[in-house]
Amino acid sequence: MPKITYVSADGDLHVVDVPIGTSVMRGAVGTGIDGIVAECGGNAMCATCHVYVPAEHAASLPEMTAVEDEMLECTVAERRATSRLSCQLRITEGLDGLVVRLPEAQE
Ligand code: FES
């Protein structure tokens, strides 16, 4: 099962085995990691699952849709070039070792 590392805004690390076919958001919410709220349950409608993904992992991520791009304009924390909605990041074998950083605030 792919391992995803979540790094909180204050530097805490959580390494989670996340099942293929679920999402980076589900891996956090399902294990009680603070920092991802996911108010809309993964429908790209709330932007409270915002994460920062290091540039070196960008190539292994699914392409950003127009809807995700639009919702990223609604994040509470600053949008950066590395911003993604974690509910839109489906887990595949290729994401094993992914490290995501959580913003200071989601709402
Ligand atoms: S969970 Fe709402 S946009 Fe991702």
CA of 81 to the centre of ligand 1 (A): 18
- CB 36 less than 6 A from any atom of ligand 1: no
**Ligand 1 center to 3 CA (angstroms):** 21
pLDDT band at 102, cuts 50/70/90?
very high
pLDDT tens figures, 44-100: 999 999 999 999 888 889 999 999 999 999 999 999 999 999 999 999 999 999 999
Q: Is 64 in the pocket of ligand 1 (CB under 6 A)?
A: no
Per-residue b or e along 23-49, where b marks 16 or more CB atoms closer than 10 Å to that residue's CB = bbbbbbbeeeeebbbbeeebebebbbb
2-44 residue pLDDT tens: 999 999 999 999 999 999 999 999 999 999 999 999 999 999 9
- CA–CA dist 25, 51 (Å, integer): 9
CA of 52 to the centre of ligand 1 (A): 14
Q: Which atom of ligand 1 is nearest to the CA of 42?
A: 1
Domains and CATH numbers, the chain: 3-101 (3.10.20.30)
The Å distance, Cα 97 to ligand 1 centre, comes to 22
